[in-house]
Structure 1
């Protein structure tokens, strides 16, 4: 427990803090999330580390939170820990008092204790400016590709009514071993998120994801009004073009109006997608390194890395 300004109690999050995090989320955003969703999202025991977040209380009332999740990245030779900063919110009456800065610093100390090599985020405008004081650096932007589907927007209605479980009838949540091998086949010389059955099980504990195999192509995706593709494998651009025609046909009958890809601009996925449609700029990847040997040019990021994917 760390006392700040003789008013605030700052601490590392444990399982007892999640009711407070849920309460804080509602007060700041006026959006409801379930306790189970929060507990499952931050229960990253599948990587061997969990709860690298920090929370601030004032007279036992939760007032600010700094959320991050540990991830394992791997290449051909080694595995390393990194941290993905994903949530940060403070009650309006307690803003501009340095709480975000202090909670971030506390979280970074926890990350270093667990040998995290760096912390990174997909920047929004707010996070971009809030990390400047913390000494963050800039990497590169992801690219996003929009593939439109001319159909009735039934998917948007299903999402609004929270009837998305309907998609479980049409798509499988299981990722067969051969499909998993294909999804991990590109850029083995670079560090990528360790995408294995433990990770898939973790993601499906708080979001529904699906594996779609079309010919030799594999797509790992989620559906929320539109079809978000986290990562995919295609042996060639031509194979991808043929597979997307069939995937768009599935989307058409389900009332899904768009397929959205967000990929590292240096990835094979980006090169293949550029033969189909032109990219637009997506999130800027920002980071703070704890290991001077780290170079983000040695890393490939995907949409699947995002905490809310």
Structure 2
């Protein structure tokens, strides 16, 4: 029997598995091999991990990246049972979760029965405790420190502002467009991502007279190059559970301007220019400071490298085996 069965929704969430193996743990990602412990690295794979743990009668760890407040609100979970190999949910009368009620109610059920619940940040830890009423431990994950490294030599791209994220309302890219319209000399904006806001952001940029490109489908190498070429990376989100983009930018040695929200303060507060949400003059001032200031030291995000995260996870996992 191996040590860990690892459930991951994507490549990043399995990034530390090879390092854990180097540290001496036996880890599988095949959903089948019997293990002493399972770990679900996201709510999106929690049900797979639950079924595996139920079948193999092993404990499991649930990792929660975030609980978006516009989905949870101040509601309560619907009652959930596990019966005859499936989840059964009874819709609650009265105050309920605002969105995706079934998903978050099942996730809360799984969290309540986990050997341990871990989360990505102090904010996520507090949210899990408040909304799921279960103990939760802060165990920050990592960025891809094998790829996001500084560029040797000077940047060769024309000056521009960059934002890398999904194009959704809470990502707040319009704030960047409005601030860019006030900058002198004017700088173009490059948005990398896809989402429901794309058409509106293109239209808003045209209204503001901001040169703006929107791109998606870039390769891993192209994303790294984009970070390295940018004059400033701007992360104006209203909410993040962890917040990878400013971490990746600082790892590349690129100046960062980020909204003053808890995860940004927690992980890049000493290396980025922070601005208060809805403070447009403050954002413009932060952009000017970042453009005029020195590049950040990538050592600021060393605690979030793959090796650092693997060491944290190893220490926590061996205590549960």
Q: Computing the radius of gyration over CA atoms, which structure comes out larger, 1 or 2?
A: 2
Give the TM-score of the pair, scaled to structure 2: 0.27
Higher strand share: 1
Q: Flag the structure with higher helix content.
A: 2
